[in-house]
Chain A
């Protein structure tokens, strides 16, 4: 590996899940839980003739960030599209549940979720969905004590049930390359037609669900460039801010009224959406 790859300002997006976890934790503090050496693989993929992976595509580690106890979970987008199955889902849910227990016992512990995921792994469908419900329950419990920070940098982006999980977090950090939305573009195109949503029109897709648009709509907190140092600094910054006074998921009353007043005959241009979303949320602060 040459030097430019290891300097602080190399790409975060190009890093593996494990490298990303190491990058956001204080140097030398990363301790991986259920590492590939434990060989806990998906019991369902093998039965379907699909090659499994020793970490099932999720890396969990404890360590510190700015000296504060933190648990980090990262989904590996290159394994099965970052999909969550029984094992990978249980790793995230279980880690968050233990972080809740730490806080209940008076030991502050925050969480960082590095999300590259299409959502539920269809080969383990109902167990993936169940795990996501459990992850969501744990995020809501944990964020009362300490912030839960989500990082969505791409290349996969964050979709399906896990986009709802991201939206439950205390803070969301995105890059220009990241995408955040409930339904994947291809699924919408399949279900609603190409006139509704053209999945192959990349500029269009990014104009709707890309990091810049999400930031300018107030649906995420931070818009960073793709570098290891900016990812790390943004995570530190939001952990330092502590628990927000009102979580984003609670700022819906005025938005609901605004959506009811909106002309929904036609599609809503991204710029108009920014205005509606920003005004709806701003009236809470």
Chain B
């Protein structure tokens, strides 16, 4: 998707070799000692284990060069991934339907984009991604704590399907971690600006920016976590991330099933104002 990444050296490397291994790497690290499950497709990884006695399912979407759908080989969330995520999440919700304690879901997020292709549109990729969104939203609303751990790119429709329905969002403070609706080059074409102009605009418009600090000012990250290396995590990095996950799990109260806490961000004033006004006008004079 992105020529956009050209200005960021490390992301340029990712662009040349579009498959990022961050997701698989962090999954391997964090699922150590967990029971690996065989998901229905190789691009979706699942492992079950515990953090501080809290049962938990780890889920990641990773590249699969032999993906059955050729336009989803680089870790994109495609038709199969959307439905496989739904399956793995709904299995947990069904299994815990009658138990008091709901299993936690920890999502490792490193998704370059949704899959772009003719097969995808023909078979209704929007519907497949909706299955994933539905599963995550439903799990959270039923009391399953969901934590998204951003270790790489969290782009557009792919992030909607894998991550954006979480109760808490933890992001590694690293220049390869990025949340956005569209890569910079494509965004420049669509908005009819040069990339330099976009950078200038982004400096004054945090929602347009590609850096994590601007993104954090929108109130959409709960924990911006420093690590020594996002690509070659040290034992202490592993420990920090596990601690952050545990802290988040302890922080999520049973009734804390919504995502309205995201509205408190510095640069979301209008989001709050609109809701206040809607509420004030809701019942009429």
B201 within 8 A of A: yes
When distances are taken between beta carbons in the complex, the residues of chain B under 8 Å from A166 are 126
In whole Å, how far is B94's beta carbon from the nearest beta carbon of chain A? 11
When distances are taken between beta carbons in the complex, the residues of chain A under 8 Å from B277 are 33-34, 38, 40
In whole Å, how far is A69's beta carbon from the nearest beta carbon of chain B? 11
Which of A5-13, A42-50, A222-230, A231-239 is the interface stretch? Answer: A42-50
When distances are taken between beta carbons in the complex, the residues of chain B under 8 Å from A134 are 259, 262
Q: Mark B114-157, 1 if CB is under 8 A from A, else 0.
A: 10111111111111111101100110110000000000000011
A249 within 8 A of B: yes
A53 within 8 A of B: no
Q: Is there contact, CB below 8 Å, between B133 and A136?
A: yes
Tell me the nearest residue of chain A to B120, going by C-beta: A182
Given contacts A129-B160, A136-B137, A188-B117, contact A164 B259 (CB under 8 A): no
Distance in angstroms between the alpha carbons of A162 and B190 in the assembled complex: 18
Q: Is there contact, CB below 8 Å, between B207 and A125?
A: yes
- Which of B41, B90, B218 contacts A126 (CB under 8 A)? B218
B243 within 8 A of A: no
B274 within 8 A of A: yes
B:9-55 near A, CB below 8 Å: 40-41
A156 within 8 A of B: no
Chain A binding surface SS class: helix
In whole Å, how far is A211's beta carbon from the nearest beta carbon of chain B? 13
Q: Mark B189-207, 1 if CB is under 8 A from A, else 0.
A: 1110000000001001111
Which of B77-85, B95-103, B222-230 is the interface stretch? Answer: B77-85
Q: Mark A82-126, 1 if CB is under 8 A from B, else 0.
A: 000011011100110110000000000000000000011011111
Q: Is there contact, CB below 8 Å, between B130 and A90?
A: no
Q: Is there contact, CB below 8 Å, between A277 and B123?
A: yes
When distances are taken between beta carbons in the complex, the residues of chain B under 8 Å from A126 are 179-181, 206-209, 215, 218, 220
Given contacts A94-B275, A181-B121, A182-B120, contact A129 B181 (CB under 8 A): yes
Q: Mark B264-279, 1 if CB is under 8 A from A, else 0.
A: 0001111101110111
Tell me the nearest residue of chain A to B161, going by C-beta: A164
Given contacts A33-B281, A133-B165, contact A264 B70 (CB under 8 A): yes
Q: Is there contact, CB below 8 Å, between A129 and B159?
A: yes
Tell me the nearest residue of chain B to A42, going by C-beta: B270
In whole Å, how far is A130's beta carbon from the nearest beta carbon of chain B? 6
When distances are taken between beta carbons in the complex, the residues of chain B under 8 Å from A273 are 122-123
- Which of A95, A140, A255 contacts B137 (CB under 8 A)? A140
Distance in angstroms between the alpha carbons of A181 and B98 in the assembled complex: 37
Given contacts A183-B116, A270-B122, contact A31 B284 (CB under 8 A): yes
When distances are taken between beta carbons in the complex, the residues of chain A under 8 Å from B259 are 133-134, 137
When distances are taken between beta carbons in the complex, the residues of chain B under 8 Å from A183 are 114, 116, 120-121, 125, 157
When distances are taken between beta carbons in the complex, the residues of chain A under 8 Å from B238 are none
Given contacts A120-B156, A161-B157, A197-B117, contact A34 B274 (CB under 8 A): yes
In whole Å, how far is A126's beta carbon from the nearest beta carbon of chain B? 4
When distances are taken between beta carbons in the complex, the residues of chain A under 8 Å from B127 are 167, 219, 248-249
Q: Is there contact, CB below 8 Å, between A133 and B271?
A: no
A:172-189 near B, CB below 8 Å: 180-183, 187-188
- Which of A129, A164, A188 contacts B126 (CB under 8 A)? A164
Distance in angstroms between the alpha carbons of A247 and B267 in the assembled complex: 35
Q: Is there contact, CB below 8 Å, between B134 and A140?
A: yes
Which residues of B are in contact with A by a Cβ distance under 8 Å? 1, 40-41, 68-71, 79-80, 82-84, 86-87, 90, 114, 116-131, 133-134, 137-138, 140-141, 156-157, 159-161, 164-165, 179-182, 186-187, 189-191, 201, 204-209, 215, 218, 220, 258-260, 262, 267-271, 273-275, 277-279, 281-282, 284
Which residues of A are in contact with B by a Cβ distance under 8 Å? 31, 33-34, 38, 40, 42-44, 47-48, 60, 62, 86-87, 89-91, 94-95, 97-98, 119-120, 122-134, 136-137, 140-141, 160-161, 163-168, 180-183, 187-188, 190-192, 196-197, 208-209, 214, 217, 219, 247-250, 252-253, 255-256, 259-260, 262, 264, 267-268, 270, 273, 276-277
- Give 29 CB contacts A-B under 8 Å: A33-B281, A34-B274, A34-B278, A34-B281, A43-B270, A60-B278, A91-B274, A98-B279, A119-B181, A122-B181, A124-B208, A125-B187, A129-B164, A131-B271, A137-B259, A140-B133, A160-B156, A182-B114, A182-B129, A188-B121, A192-B71, A192-B118, A248-B130, A249-B130, A252-B87, A252-B131, A253-B83, A255-B128, A268-B123
Given contacts A164-B160, A167-B129, A192-B117, 4 further A-B contacts (CB under 8 A): A33-B282, A34-B274, A47-B205, A256-B40
